[in-house]
Amino acid sequence: MSSAAEQEAAPGPSREDVLAPASVPPPQPGPPVWPGSPQPLGARFRTGPDGVTGTNFALWAGGAEAVEVCLFDDDGTETRCPLTELTHEIWHGFLPGVSPGRRYGFRVHGRWDPWTGARWNPAKLLLDPYARAVDGEFGLPPEVYGHVRDWPQQHVADTVRDDRDSAPHVPKGVVVFDETPGDEWADDRRPKTPWADTVLYELHVRGFTMRHPGVPERLRGTYAGLAHPAAIEHLTALGVTAVELLPVHQFAHEDHLLRRGLRNYWGYNSIGYFAPHAGYAATGTRGEQVGEFKRMVRALHAAGIEVILDVVYNHTAEANELGPTLSLRGIDNRGYYRLQPDPRRYADYTGCGNTLHVVQPQVLRLITDSLRYWVTEMGVDGFRFDLAAALARSMHDVDMLSPFLAVIAQDPVLRRVKLVAEPWDIGSGGYQVGAFPPLWTEWNDRYRDTVRDFWRGRLHGVRDLGYRLSGSSDLYAWGGRRPYASVNFVTAHDGFTLRDLVSHQQKHNEANGEGNRDGTDDNRSWNCGAEGETGDPEITALRRRQLRNFLTTLLLSTGVPMLVAGDEMGRTQRGNNNGYCQDNPTGWLDWSLAADPGWRELRALTARLIALRRAHPVLRRRAFFSGRPQGPEGLRDLAWFTPAGREMTEQDWYAPAATLAMYLSGRDIPGRDERGGPVTDDSFLVLLHAHHEPLPFTLPGPPWARGYELLVDTSREDQAEPPGTRHRGGAELTLPARSVQLLRVRHDPAASG
């Protein structure tokens, strides 16, 4: 590392280079600007006075001294049009003759005073926060930074303003034609799957179809590719009810990735909250991406599949004070971002350099306007909020009565859609699993960790496993919340794939270019005896059994299961547990696995388990189990048994064990059917055995059951058809090592024969 003196002496751009505008063609004089309207925000094509068509532009820029709309012709010629009307800190004007497809941006004038948080710089073309389409990509050359990025003294670089024009290097917003609202997104046109019946499937729009042989090559990696019948057929055959799409808001690539020849793949670097990411469009980026996205949603809805967006409102792609000036920083830095007591610096609860200041009314409005837009005009059915705890902070602490949560709770549009919280951020007090209010469901990482520990043989006792299998009542049985408040998952985009979870003891992220330092070290994985891929048939067989164990456990647990695309057919990232920058075959789904006989049975088992959930309400309960005796026989709706066939005692819950038996009673399930009648179902016994040796198990006899029918046995390689073996109540069976068995309870007299 060089000394401070060496850094100061290092060559860099001269003051003359960066403090004077670069040699660029002068902007053209703009057309007359009519007063227009401060509402709605953004660029809206409409008919103005005297029937003249044009576009109304409106931008909230609190504290700014002047705002210009900058229009761009196809050859890049820029026309600047000052907005002179100011209403409640909203600059606005109507430009006659500006039609859909026209590219534009803003230049905002004001003080450059980073020591007080003021970072206005009119040399930087800014993306409209309300732009509904974006044309072009963000490269990040020095000109895109509001300060001198390569200033020799880096500790003060953010205070030196860079006056070079950024317009040639940044994408532009696009004026989009407003369709006449219809009833295509009305409630009766949506799948509207109840939460308790939902099976989530997390996928990446680009990665899901990039290698799909049934999708035409020109459509792969796009919204149109996901809408293709070949892609949808996989979802419907599997039986999932909703896709949870990794971020599709317009995002930018980080500078450190571009310097290493990589790109942001996951998309958790948003910069345009209204615009579908242009890189996923097959039909064009001058507004065509909007229609293509809508057609994708229609196709999924027609197949009975809801669309949930993973959204990143906690931070933007502008990073910290050393990041680029792309949009909000240059519009009103102090208004949009949380700043530290030293306002040169940003409060960072996200690990990404900045945090949006959601307590500010205009920031809250930006987020809620965006959410409503995606529901009412783009047709989506819900949202998964990345680092939701950061949005729930009031001034500093996480507050479940925060403005953000309060606004969502009373909004007539948003309170009716699916809301999923990632209930943590990296700030103090940011871990909030189980704390979100009743409208919300949550990613339950306690479920993930417990199930992983159980199947790798590192869970001390089974008490926590019992809670996770039965809906996590210890976390969610308060305030009217239901079992479906828990989104159960074993894997997610962030971390090992399911196959890698049983194939790698450590992460292997060397391809990310960060010296394998990125990504979590807390994987709770077990490689079954060898690191990475192996030709050992015993290890391979054990790994596949473990995959069946994980999927069966997940899909038989009470709560909302979430699968990750490709886990059902053995997708691998070769041990990379942080594939955020792997926009290549590492991150894309390998569809050759679907035709591989070795993985076909895993997919068949997953589909059969989802079908079992759909057919049996006892596996997708809408209310927590009571655990109390019910009915004339005094059977509990949920009971737990030891391998000796007796009900577990309090002492048993705390004793070391690797086996748990869960009895789910289908009698008198709480709630009523659509006609007001009682809900009844079969009863089931689920046996989970994580030890490496077989175990004798005595099946509970009458009154619990006269007999049992075996439906699922994960020790079997062949899972295409149910085993069908029958057992008498009270009989002893041998649980195979590391296996799950699902048995249907039989009460008829013939079952005891």
Catalytic residues: 386, 422
What type of residue sits at position 186?
Answer: A
What gap in Å lies between CA 441 and CA 641, rounded to an integer? Answer: 30
Sequence-distant contacts of 45-53: CB under 8 A, at least 24 apart: 45/98, 45/99, 45/100, 45/175, 45/176, 45/177, 45/178, 46/178, 48/94, 48/96, 52/96, 52/97, 53/96, 53/97, 53/99
Distance, first Cα to last Cα, the chain = 80
Instruction: Find the length of the chain.
Output: 753
Q: Residue holding tokens 């409640």?
A: 88
What gap in Å lies between CA 78 and CA 177, rounded to an integer? Answer: 22
Q: Residue holding tokens 């008829």?
A: 748
Q: Which helix (H) or strand (E) holds 406?
A: helix 403-410
Q: Which helix (H) or strand (E) holds 650?
A: helix 650-654
Q: Where are the alpha helices (DSSP H) in 516-573?
A: 537-556
Of 444, 507, 129, 532, the C-alpha closest to 318 is 129
Residue 501 has φ and ψ, to the nearest 5°, of: -60, -30
What gap in Å lies between CA 395 and CA 359, rounded to an integer? Answer: 7
Secondary structure E strands in 547-668:
560-564, 629-630, 635-636, 638-641, 659-664
What gap in Å lies between CA 679 and CA 197, rounded to an integer? Answer: 15
Torsion of CA 596, 598, 599, 605, to 10 degrees: 130
Secondary structure E strands in 265-332:
270-276, 306-311
What gap in Å lies between CA 552 and CA 544, rounded to an integer? Answer: 12
DSSP letters spanning 672-728: E-TTS-EE----EEEEEE-SSS-EEEEPP-TTT-SEEEEEEETT-S--SS----EEE
Q: Which residues, at least 6 apart from 62, have a Cβ–Cβ distance to it below 8 Å?
A: 89, 332, 335, 362
Residue 17 has φ and ψ, to the nearest 5°, of: -65, -35
Secondary structure E strands in 266-330:
270-276, 306-311
3-state DSSP assignment of residue 355 = coil
Of 654, 570, 560, 580, the C-alpha closest to 604 is 570
Query: Is 127:170 a contact under the CB 8 Å cutoff?
Result: yes
